[in-house]
């Protein structure tokens, strides 16, 4: 399944040729902060060859989760395989291209605070066991209207529902333009449609290499927002922007491959799943409480993880039951995979993918066996029934999730000390900011009575 990789020299030559053919004038060198927010440095195309060879220095002191001011100088080194001309800049605008970068320290060593480096290390550990990870995320988001001042309102673009068509799905054209741009940037779009809630949409791209998928999540979120602005809308990947309707998740389909064969498939296994698949699932279920702070990294994430809105909040697996945390889709052979349903698109996809892989590999190494599948609707079980079936709950708040994360040796080893400490610091500040704020619900509930 894995394609033969081209040499760096060949890729650099192709980038230079593409830039010339497309008459590119500017280059955006992109990377992400610890929260998964894309950042960039823009340069004239005349510097492209130099940057491909040596990278470019930048000040990282103000990037969330990066460096202290006394050690702020960092180097961006482009990954030439991520070259893409930005389709919305061709024609009358200044033609611009982008390259996703790795972050280095001035001494030429990798910067431990680069989220992309975290995933690269995790992928290397999987390779040492003979595995490649493949993923397929399903990214959901909302289109909201803009107010007279240009700021987003919490007002959906439409009142459509699941799979509705353009007569009531007023975001259809913006979504279609997004998919067209993504396809021009090298994506293979598998599906795009209106989701359950008003103003909610989903775009899915092809299943493939874990690093490529993580890069594409960053790209998809960025392009979706750019296109929304062009349509006079605001696109948000906030997990639960509206109370009382479904929130936005990012279900992640995942599998391990070995010697170009799907290591999760066993024709003779129970449900045609291999021991590797069961052990990987066991590792996910064992470690998911500790990695939830990464998979669901905002205060708002936990407003989505509640019963009744198709979001999983209970730790179980099943074949058909969509109330379970892990679902095994029906496809077999090369299509055999597990679907982890709790992640949301507000997080950092490099860190999210890395901790999922580490959790699963823990199960593979230690031969962790998952419990029996739970095919009944978990949402309607009583607490006693859940206990009887061995069904635990995900953390109920960012604070609870951070406490479990801090106790995890696997998370600390996967993230590395720098990102582990920075992530906890950033998210504890976020929790305190939320905890100390007086919210509208408190005014509505207590002001008339107390």
Catalytic residues: 59, 138, 140, 195, 202, 251, 322, 339, 341
**What string of H, E and C letters represents the secondary structure of the chain?**
CCCCCCCHHHHHHHHHHHHHHCCCCEEEEEEECCCCCEEEEEEEHHHHHHHHHHCEEEECCCCCCCCCHHHCEEEEEECHHHCEECHHHCCCCCCEEEEEEEEECCCCCECCCCHHHHHHHHHHHHHHCCCEEEEEEEEEEEEEEECCCCCEEEEECCCCCCCCCCCCCCCHHHHHHHHHHHHHCCCCEEEEEECCCCCEEEEEECCEEHHHHHHHHHHHHHHHHHHHHHCCEEEECCCCCCCCCCCCCEEEEEEEEECCEECCECCCCHHHECHHHHHHHHHHHHHHHHHHHHHCCCCCHHHHCCCCCCCCCEECEECCCCCCCEECCCCCHHHCCEEECCCCCCCCHHHHHHHHHHHHHHHHHHCCCCCCCCCCCHHHCCHHHHHHCCCEECCCCHHHHHHHHHCCHHHHHHHHHHHHHHHHHHHHHHHHHHHHCCCHHHHHHHCCCC
Joined tokens for residue 65: 């989760």
Residue 244: how many CA atoms within 13 Å on its side-chain side?
1
Q: What gap in Å lies between CA 140 and CA 249, rounded to an integer?
A: 6
The answer to whether 120 touches 103, Cβ cutoff 8 Å, is no
Q: What gap in Å lies between CA 192 and CA 369, rounded to an integer?
A: 36
Which is it for strands 26-32 and 96-104: parallel, antiparallel or unpaired? parallel
Q: What gap in Å lies between CA 333 and CA 336, rounded to an integer?
A: 6
């Amino acid at each position: 399944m894995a394609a033969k990789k081209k040499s760096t020299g060949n890729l650099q030559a192709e980038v230079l040729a593409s830039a010339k053919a497309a008459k590119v004038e500017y280059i955006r060198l992109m990377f992400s902060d610890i929260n998964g927010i894309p950042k960039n440095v823009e340069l004239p195309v005349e510097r492209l060859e130099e940057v491909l060879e040596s990278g470019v220095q930048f000040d990282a002191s103000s990037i969330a989760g990066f460096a202290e001011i006394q050690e702020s100088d960092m180097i961006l080194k482009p990954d030439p395989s991520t070259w893409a001309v930005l389709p919305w800049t061709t024609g009358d605008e200044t033609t611009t291209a982008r390259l996703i970068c790795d972050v280095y320290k001035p001494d030429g060593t990798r910067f431990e605070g680069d989220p992309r480096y975290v995933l690269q290390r995790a992928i290397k550990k999987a390779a040492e066991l003979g595995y490649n990870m493949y993923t397929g995320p399903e990214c959901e988001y909302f289109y909201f209207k803009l107010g007279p001042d240009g700021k987003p309102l919490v007002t959906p673009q439409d009142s459509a529902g699941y799979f509705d068509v353009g007569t009531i799905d007023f975001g259809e054209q913006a979504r279609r333009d997004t998919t067209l741009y993504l396809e021009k940037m090298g994506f293979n779009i598998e599906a795009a449609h209106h989701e359950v809630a008003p103003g909610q949409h989903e775009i899915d791209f092809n299943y493939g290499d874990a690093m490529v998928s993580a890069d594409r999540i960053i790209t998809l979120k960025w392009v979706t927002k750019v296109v929304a602005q062009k349509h006079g809308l605001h696109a948000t990947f906030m997990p639960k922007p509206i109370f009382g309707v479904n929130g936005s998740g990012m279900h992640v389909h995942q599998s391990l491959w070995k010697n170009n064969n799907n290591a999760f498939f066993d024709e003779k296994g129970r449900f045609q799943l291999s021991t590797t698949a069961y052990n990987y699932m066991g590792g996910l279920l064992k470690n998911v409480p500790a990695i939830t702070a990464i998979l669901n990294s905002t205060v708002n994430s936990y407003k989505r993880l509640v019963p009744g809105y198709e979001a999983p909040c209970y730790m179980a697996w099943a074949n058909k039951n969509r109330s379970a945390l892990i679902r095994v889709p029906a496809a077999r052979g090369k299509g055999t995979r597990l679907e982890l349903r709790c992640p949301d698109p507000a997080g950092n996809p490099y860190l999210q993918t890395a901790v999922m892989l580490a959790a699963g590999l823990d199960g593979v190494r230690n031969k962790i066996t998952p419990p029996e599948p739970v095919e009944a609707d978990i949402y309607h079980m009583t607490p006693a029934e859940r206990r009887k079936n061995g069904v635990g709950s995900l953390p109920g708040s960012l604070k609870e999730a951070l406490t479990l994360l801090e106790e995890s040796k696997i998370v600390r080893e996967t993230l590395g000390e720098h990102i582990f400490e920075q992530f906890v610091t950033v998210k504890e500040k976020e929790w305190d900011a939320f905890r100390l704020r007086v919210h509208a619900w408190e005014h509505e509930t207590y002001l008339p009575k107390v």
